[in-house]
Amino acid sequence: MAFELPDLPYAHDALASKGMSKETLEYHHDLHHKAYVDNGNKAIAGTEWENKSLEEIIKGTYDPNAVAQNGIFNNISQLWNHNQFWEMMGPNGGGAMPSELESAITDSFGSVQKFKDDFSAAGAGQFGSGWAWLVKDTDGSLKVTKTENGVNPVCFGQTALLGCDVWEHSYYIDFRNKRPAYLSNFLDNLVNWENVASRM
């Protein structure tokens, strides 16, 4: 069964007042995300992966020793990444964290601000395209990580609690080359902390 492009969980202009424009979402969701869906479906057609879940394909095609990942992995992982990304944001983003999440973050990082600083540094420090993540690791601890291109926490058996796309197509329309400003705005105004907490 072919994968489909999910609808955004909000209108294209719903995040505009929060710093992510309608134009960005039209390009990012309707064109970039759709391309990962279409190219992913073409890549797995007629292969052993055709009827597998996204997670099964990601785990099965990721090569930790490869300088560059294969086409199936790249498209399917980016399809999964974006499915999560839209849900991790919302028009009511930037509100208070649920107490359970705030406590877990404080326990792991010392404070919410230290977590935000670490997350922003990971995203700003990712050379070229990639993602910044807050993950629940296999030992139950919370960690900030960064990954190149489409690589994601599924590859390492981790649970993705929050991810921020630092490919230029995610921020260039609104922030030009100011990736740190985009990351700060993401954390302060866009993140749906209820969704993040639900992933714990």
82 has binding-site annotation: yes
β-pairing, 142-148 vs 159-165, is unpaired
The answer on whether 32 is annotated among ligand-binding residues is no
Q: How far is CA 52 from CA 35, 56, 128, 164, 189, in A?
A: 19, 6, 30, 26, 36
Residue 162's SS3 state is strand
Distance CA 168, CA 171 (A): 6
DSSP 111-161: SHHHHHHHHHHHHHHS-SSEEEEEEE-TTS-EEEEEEETT--GGGGT-EEE
Angle at 35 between CA 31 and CA 36, to 5 degrees: 125
Ligand-binding site membership of 30 (annotated): no
CB atoms within 10 A of CB 102: 16
Is 165 annotated as belonging to a binding site?
Answer: yes
Around 158, how many Cα atoms within 13 Å sit in the side-chain half-sphere? 21
Q: Could you give the CA distance from residue 158 to residue 133 in angstroms, rounded to a whole number?
A: 10
Q: Which residues define the annotated binding site? A: 28, 82, 165, 169
Q: Which residues define the annotated binding site for Mn(2+)? A: 28, 82, 165, 169
